[in-house]
Amino acid sequence: MTDTTIKNDHYYMQLAIQEALKAETIGEVPIGAVLVYDGEVIASSFNLRETLETTASHAEMIVIDQGNQHFNSWRLEDCTLYVTLEPCPMCAGTIVQSRIKRVVFGALDPKAGCAGSLMNLLQDDRFNHQVDVTSGVEEEVCASLLQNFFKKLREQKKQRKQLRKPRESTEE
């Protein structure tokens, strides 16, 4: 990998991180994605699953739809997808089907990752298309976004639970 590629990967991942931060501000899981073609960002988004209440509203799926509209085609050949979290099975399958050339992701997803963690759908040679994968770009930032988000959720849940506890009377 060239120095320019590495530099570009960090630049575009920073854009994906900015998208993830947008998700966090509206209470969505902070995952962001950008789709790049020939050095130009042609699509960008973040998770909207809670907002839209649709299963497929992952950042990758939204960006792929935007890319399809950009090209008026289901094929996204020669595109690179940057995403802050390793793609899940649904997203990995869609990436393969859309013929995206390369995926660059930040944090591993040990519970649902299908670009190497649980399995590697993106590079399975049984499919008619394989994707080049680069992992760990801005990994610490991407992982910490998610860890902090879920830590806050757990703290909020704990506080709500404590507020619901009946207050014990101190009078006898």
Which of 60, 139, 155, 171 is labelled catalytic?
60
Check the annotation: does 91 bind a ligand.
yes
For residues 115 and 133, the answer to whether their CB atoms sit within 8 Å is: yes
Check the annotation: does 88 bind a ligand.
yes
Map tokens 């959720």 to a residue.
153
Q: Residues with Cβ < 8 Å from 144, sequence gap 6 or more? A: none
- Report the alpha-carbon distance of residue 149 to residue 153 in Å, rounded: 6
Note if 138 is an active site residue. Answer: no
What's the CA dihedral at 134, 52, 42, 128 to 10 degrees?
50
Query: What string of DSSP letters covers 71-116?
Result: HTSS--TTEEEEEEE---HHHHHHHHHHT-SEEEEEE--TTT-TBT
For residues 28 and 53, the answer to whether their CB atoms sit within 8 Å is: no
Q: List binding-site positions for Zn(2+).
A: 58, 88, 91
Residues classed as catalytic: 60
Which residues are known binding-site members? 58, 88, 91
